[in-house]
Each structure stands twice: as structure tokens, then as C-alpha cells.
Structure 1
Amino acid sequence: MTTPPQRLLLALDALDSAFAPLLAEPSPTVGGCTHCYADADLAALAGPAQVVPDRLISSVARMSVDHWDDFASLYRRMTPRIVRLLATGRLHLDHGLIASRLLAAHWREWPAPERQALEQVWDDWWRSTLHAYPATDPATAVLETVAVSTGILTPWLAIWAETRTEAADRHLDDALDHWIGHWPEERRLAGLRLGFYDELLVGPELVDWLLSLDEGRIGAAQLFEVERIAYS
């Protein structure tokens, strides 16, 4: 039986395979900001995606849409590389930014094999995170990526609720500290939005979900804060 980390690696390999037909097509010319990118960089981005240097992959992952003549096409071609670096802890960027960039690239309109392969990576990455503590990334960061990019929080919370591991509970403890105390007052749990551009309102659903969890999964002090937020 494969472990969650092994399933994630298999899903990443399947993502590469799903994008292989696209990457086998002749590479388009890549046009972009010549202030930020040398001609050699743009030529590298137009070459085989598999050999683009990691530093350029990271740059494509974070740069705004208006840096490119055809952002959506470039981001689609680089997605397997971006996602592999992200899910293996080697892309040190805001996770909400990656989700927001995928939305800007209209990934939900890509061919079904590509969409489904990416969705499988999200599922296996989330499950792998909940089975390891510490994980490669905080659960809050992974949750932000998968929820914002898919536009829905419910299934990811359902997986968390059904994952009764010590690691999942420790991630939950950290997440509550983050959600309750990390944000400015107006953006704390009840009004929490995820995504680099605050695309997804999750606060009300999170509060309801936290209150629905089995007794004992949330410590008394944190539960008091959640109830105070819920009923104030």
C-alpha cells in the first residue's frame, strides 16, 4: 500500500504525463517585460519546459499577468514545473499567489486530462500534509492553495475532519492560532478571506466547521475563542 507522500509523487508524475502532449507541441515565442527578462531568459522560456531553470520557473510563478504577452499560455506550459516545486517545498512563494495566478490563467478551462491531473495533485498534497507534522508546508498554506484554486472549501475541510491522525490535529492547533491571532481584527476568523487578492471568503464556513468537529479536537481555550466569534 502506498503512503500519502508516495501518492503525491505519483500524482506529480501523472501531472507531467497529462501535460506531455502540450509540451510536445512546437514552443511558441515568449514575449515579456524586457526590463525584467533578458533575451536569453525569454528564449529559455520558449524552449522545452522541462529544462527551464528553477529561478525562471519561480519568476513566472510570481510575476503579474501584465509582464507577459500571453500570460495564460506561458503559465499553462509551466504549471507542472511550478506545481512540483510548490508541492515539494522548493517554491518559496506565497501560496495564495500561486492559486490566484492559476485562476488568472483560467486553469478550469484547460483540457480535462490537465484539470483532472492537477485536481489529483491537490487532493494528494492535502492528504499528505495532514499525515505529517511538521509537513513541508503549513496546513493553512496548502489549504489556501487548494481551496482558492478550486473555488470551494467544503471538500478540503471534510478531508481534514475525517483524518484522525495526530499530525492532522497538530496542524489544526497551529491553524487556529494562525486564524485567530495572526490577522488584523477585521480579517480574523469570521471575516477571513483566502487568496492573494482575497478571492475566497471562508470565515463563516470555517467557524461552522470548527464548531461541528468532534469533542476534544479543539483545545478549550481555542474553542472558547471560536464560540466567542460565532456568537458575538
Structure 2
Amino acid sequence: MPCSEQLMTALDALDRAFAAEPPFPVGGCTFCYAEQDLAELAGPLHLISENLIPAVAAEGPDHWDDFPRLYRRLVPRIVRPLVTGRLHTDPELIASRLVQAEWTGWDPPLVDALRDVWDAWWRSTLDSHPGGGPVTVREALGLVTVTTGGMRPWLDTWAATRTPAADAQLAHLVDDVMFEGEITDLHLGFYDEYHATPELLGWLRTDVRDRVDDPRLDDPYFLGPLWQEQP
């Protein structure tokens, strides 16, 4: 099954898994949200305005009486437009909000369904050439890394995906993180919560070095002390 079809299948399964999440009275900041907005958020999921979803998806926990429950219920309305490029909210901010909502502690069927979406989305991203997907490969890597708390599984998938598209995405990422030496102190996440340099630089210099045409990865002057620390 092509990666894009796997993603749609995973998103449909996500909808089914979260369908049992019932509406509940939503309390929140009435300075930022009108009573009508709160009533809408408390009603049927499919009737919540598309204009309201991005604002709520980005809003911090302190704006809501029960942020984890609200975010959990809205996951289908947040994640589908996110991975299809229709949410228009920083993907890494969504990752931070999911971590704040403690999504890995939700009921196992919900957690599994969301993990399946991340896996299918990452494979779909690697299957597209730069500019061909709704977000950049760096944004996708940042989201799945911060959300799941680990980068290595996603890098392993990339290393095992030896296709022209995956190689093009690799070149795009290297150009991005090498600009002005960002790789020497690279953090992922909206709040820079994940220090990516050790894992990513080591991976670039070992696992996929034969697929990256950038001499700066072997330049002690460019990388400074990090060149000595990495394998």
C-alpha cells in the first residue's frame, strides 16, 4: 500500500478510536473565547468550526479548565488537518501541546492509533520530495521526535528507506541544519525541548554518510569540538 494510502487508513482508524470521546462542558478563558466558542467546543465534534480548531490547537493549558480532556477529544480534528497541511499552525507547537496533554497516558487504543498516524505520516513524508508534502521534513521530524520523546526510531526508518525521495529529503535536511552552523546546537520543538545535535550529527556522520554529499560533516573547523565527540 502506498504511503499516502497508509496515512489515510491510519487517520480513519484514528477517527474511529476517538469516536467514543463524549462531549463535555468546556470551561476556559472568556477573554480569548466567547461563550459561544466554549459552547461549540462542548458540542458535537464535527460541528466545531474549522476557524476555531487552529486557535484551540495552539492554545496553552492555562486557558482551559480541563486541558488534557479537551485536547484528547479534539485530536481527530487537530491531527488530520495537521498532517495534510490544512491546520496552518506550527507543527512543533502541536507536538508540545500533545506532550502537555500527556497523550502517552491515554487509553491504549487511543495511544496506538495516534502512534500509527505518526508512523504513516513519517513514511509518507519520506516518500515525497522536498516541497511535495504539506510540511518540511525537518518539521515532521521535529513533531514526531518531540511528541514521542525520541529521535532514533525515526532516523532508523529513514536510514532503511533508500529511495530517491528519501535521499532528496536527506539533502534538504542537511542544507537546512548546516546553514550558519545550526547543527552544532540544534534543538527541536516549539520550546526547544529536544536537543537533537548528538543523535542527528552522529547519524549523519555514520549511518547515512554515504548518502550525504556535504564535506562540512567531516570538517573539524566547521564542527569545532563536536567533531571530536561524534563517531
Q: Which amino acid aligns with 2:14?
A: L
Distance 1:43 1:204, change over 3 A: same
* Aligned 8 A contact 2:219 2:227 in 1: no
* Corresponding residue for residue 67 of structure 2: 71
* Corresponding residue for residue 204 of structure 1: 198
| Residues 208-219 of structure 1 aligned to structure 2 (within 5 Å) | 208-219=202-213
* Corresponding residue for residue 109 of structure 1: 105
User: Secondary structure of the equivalent of 1:198?
Assistant: coil
Residues 1:45 and 2:45 are matched in the alignment: no
The structural deviation recorded for 1:201 is 1.4
The structural deviation recorded for 1:190 is 2.8
Q: Which amino acid aligns with 1:135?
A: G
* Aligned 8 A contact 1:211 1:226 in 2: no
The structural deviation recorded for 1:225 is 5.2
| Residues 83-102 of structure 1 aligned to structure 2 (within 5 Å) | 83-102=79-98
Identity %: 46
What RMSD in Å do the two structures reach over aligned CA positions? 1.7
Determine the C-alpha separation between the residues in 1 that align with 2:16 and 2:81. 16
- TM-score of the superposed pair, with normalisation by structure 2: 0.92
For structure 1, the 5+ residue unaligned runs are: none
Determine the C-alpha separation between the residues in 2 that align with 1:60 and 1:141. 20
Determine the C-alpha separation between the residues in 1 that align with 2:172 and 2:147. 22
User: Secondary structure of the equivalent of 2:162?
Assistant: coil
- TM-score of the superposed pair, with normalisation by structure 1: 0.91
| Residues 11-160 of structure 1 aligned to structure 2 (within 5 Å) | 11-22=10-21, 25=22, 27-133=23-129, 134-160=132-158
User: Secondary structure of the equivalent of 1:216?
Assistant: helix
The structural deviation recorded for 1:152 is 0.4
Determine the C-alpha separation between the residues in 2 that align with 1:197 and 1:226. 29
For structure 2, the 5+ residue unaligned runs are: none
The structural deviation recorded for 1:189 is 1.2
Runs of 4+ in 1 over 2 A off after TM superposition: 213-216, 220-228
* Aligned 8 A contact 1:193 1:201 in 2: yes
Give the total of aligned pairs.
224
